[in-house]
Amino acid sequence: MFRQKIQLYSDDLQIELYNDNLLIKLYNDDLQNEFYNNYLQIKLYNDDLQIEFYNDDLDRVIQLYSDDLQIELYNDNLLIKLYNDDLQNEFYNNYLQIKLYNDDLQIEFYNDDLQIELYNDDFQIELYNDDLQIELYNDDLQIQFYNNDLQI
């Protein structure tokens, strides 16, 4: 099988071209950038920053890493995570989930079952497609609301 290869090297740059694959690497201390044609992979490392994209059997992955950030994109699913101490943000495309943690703060949203939850010590809100439920807790204060039933 004929395989063509082109390489270019410098102190911090490397380029390789094959018949079915293109690879580009850039090195600068801990900085690395890689690009592949078929498996389409791009990596950029600066500390822990990484981006990956795959287009193989319609399975796409995009990952972005930094100290407190992670983004992953798949064919059917998108995941975004943000970490800052105890801060976490997650987003999913299909199961559409967003979570934000700051101490006990959490927000969740789902496509099919619409659910939103917000926690801040004693505060909680939940929203569902069929049943709407809102709960507020403050020591001994509780409020609940449902679609067919109103309860306070």
pLDDT digits 0-9 by tens, 37-95: 443 344 444 334 344 444 443 344 444 444 444 555 444 444 545 444 443 444 443 43
118 with 58, same domain: the answer is no
**pLDDT at position 72, please?**
53
Task: Please tell me whether residues 96 and 38 are part of one structural domain.
Answer: no
Are 30 and 47 in contact by the 8 Å Cβ rule? The answer is: yes
Q: Based on the fold, state whether residues 22 and 64 are members of the same structural domain.
A: yes
Same-domain pairing of 66 and 5? yes
10 plus 66 within the same structural domain:
yes
Whether residues 63 and 3 share a domain: the answer is: yes
Residues 97 and 122 in one domain: yes
Mean pLDDT for 6-13 is 49
- The verdict on pTM exceeding 0.85 is no
CA atoms of 55 and 32, how far apart (whole Å): 21
For residues 55 and 60, give the distance between their C-alpha atoms in angstroms, rounded to a whole number: 5
Quote the tokens at residue 20: 């079915």
Q: 152 pLDDT band (50/70/90 cuts)?
A: very low
pLDDT digits (tens, 9 = 90+) for 124-134: 444 444 444 44
CA 116 to chain CA mean position, Å: 19
Q: For residue 102, what are the domain limits?
A: 84-152
Number of domains observed in the structure of the chain:
2
Same domain, 68 and 114: no
Return mean pLDDT, the chain: 44
Q: Six-digit token pair at 19?
A: 């018949």
